[in-house]
Amino acid sequence: MGKIYRNILVTGGAGFIGSNFVLMLANEYPQINVINLDALTYAGNLDNISMLLDKKNHHFIHGNICNRELVKEILQNYEIDGIINFAAESHVDRSIKNPGIFIETNVMGTSILLDEAEKTGITRFLQVSTDEVYGSLGKTGKFTEDLPLEPNSPYSASKASADLICRAFYKTYALDIITTRCSNNYGPYQFPEKMLPLMINNALNDKALPVYGDGLHIRDWLYVYDHCTAIWAAFCRGKTGEIYNIGGCNEKTNLEVIIALLECLDKPQSLISFVKDRPGHDRRYAIDATKTMHDLDWSPSVIFQEGLEKTIDWYLTHPDWISKIISGEYKTYYKEMYNV
């Protein structure tokens, strides 16, 4: 039987994937205490976890992973026995405009967490990474864990740097580290700067859907709940020092995804508008998750059409969540980003 974890520090648990993860833990493993450290950047949102805020097994701390003193205090005071690091700046387009904060949070923040974990003697540290660290694929082949890291955006370069620091802490200090690298997620609570919720929101408002370049870039989509179950499997059953790719074998061009969502919403394809391509835009991502499926006994449970319908349904039934977000900083971001 594996180790039993009691007090887990989850960072970035008010963001998209982190909030889905803490909600899953609270529902399925109520005996575990989650200490949720989040800086509440533009992407962090307490509304995502409002149902947990008065629960005894969830402690929210508003703070930054770059704050060494705070991290040290949390590790000691809450007797943390495992860390799952979701906290990050996560949007490629923002990293192109302002790379500095990506280096600060994703590289410096991760190294502070590792450093303090090592000093406190924390047993297990899971770094939530991304398939984007591998760079871009040609027409064939898939990402396997042994490929070299060839990141192309400031975002992916900052995540690759964090992965390498994790590797160094494992090799040098024998820190108990697992790294997971997942493909593109979609589902409830995703901030509408990312492709899928942005397109859903625009389509609902009969606004143009800005497709970069020719729209034939390929992403390998995974429903967020399946990512969460894979992270938990890796945290509980993964082997120290190993890297696990996570994906759903679900490659689609951006146009295929957008046409499918327009069909679900009964909106016309005339809303599609081809715009200037993203600089350094990776052409294709595809994950080989054989190792994770085999070694961790994990498999995805939601097929794309079902996940897409669930996601659209969630945005349709949470108009307040989305309208609160798009009334704030998002408006300025959207204007600057899309020149409208």
Q: What residues line the site for ligand NAD (CB under 6 A)? A: 11-12, 14-18, 37-41, 43-44, 64-66, 86-90, 105, 109, 128, 130, 159, 182, 184-185, 191
> Does the active-site annotation cover 132?
yes
Phi-psi region of 87 (alpha: psi -120 to 50; beta: other; left: phi over 0): beta
Quick check: 227 binds ligand TYD (CB under 6 A)? no
Active-site residue, selected from the candidate residues 81, 116, 132, 288: 132
Q: How far is the CB of 270 from ligand NAD (least distance, A)?
A: 28
Count helices and strands in the chain by DSSP H and E runs: 13, 13
The residue within the footprint of ligand TYD, chosen from 15, 135, 188, 210 (CB under 6 A), is 210
**Distance of alpha carbon 150 from alpha carbon 93, whole angstroms:** 18
Active-site residue, selected from the candidate residues 5, 155, 170, 333: 155
Q: How far is the CB of 314 from ligand TYD (least distance, A)?
A: 17
Site for ligand TYD in 150-189 (CB under 6 A): 184
Query: Measuring CA to CA, which residue among 105, 160, 161, 168 is closest to residue 131?
Result: 160
**Distance of alpha carbon 126 from alpha carbon 231, whole angstroms:** 8
**Distance of alpha carbon 274 from alpha carbon 277, whole angstroms:** 9
> Does the active-site annotation cover 78?
no
Q: Which of ligand TYD, ligand NAD, none does 7 bind, CB closer than 5 to 8 A by kind?
A: none
Q: Residue holding tokens 């989650």?
A: 34
- State how far Cα 201 lies from the chain centre: 20
Q: Which of ligand NAD, ligand TYD, none does 185 bind, CB closer than 5 to 8 A by kind?
A: ligand NAD
Site for ligand TYD in 274-293 (CB under 6 A): 278
Question: At a CB cut-off of 8 Å and minimum separation 6, what does 277 contact?
Answer: 212, 213
> Does the active-site annotation cover 212?
no
Q: Residue 9 belongs to what H/E stretch? A: strand 7-11
Among 72-80, 207-215, 228-236, 299-307, which window interacts with ligand TYD (CB under 6 A)?
A: 207-215
**Distance of alpha carbon 316 from alpha carbon 305, whole angstroms:** 16
Q: Which of ligand TYD, ligand NAD, none does 105 bind, CB closer than 5 to 8 A by kind?
A: ligand NAD
Please say whether the beta carbons of 188 and 224 come within 8 A.
yes
Q: Using CB under 6 A as the criterion, what x/- string covers residues 187-206 for binding ligand TYD? A: -------xx--x--------
Q: Across-strand partners of 11?
A: 37, 85
Q: Using CB under 6 A as the criterion, what x/- string covers residues 91-110 for binding ligand TYD? A: -x------------------
Catalytic residues: 131-132, 155
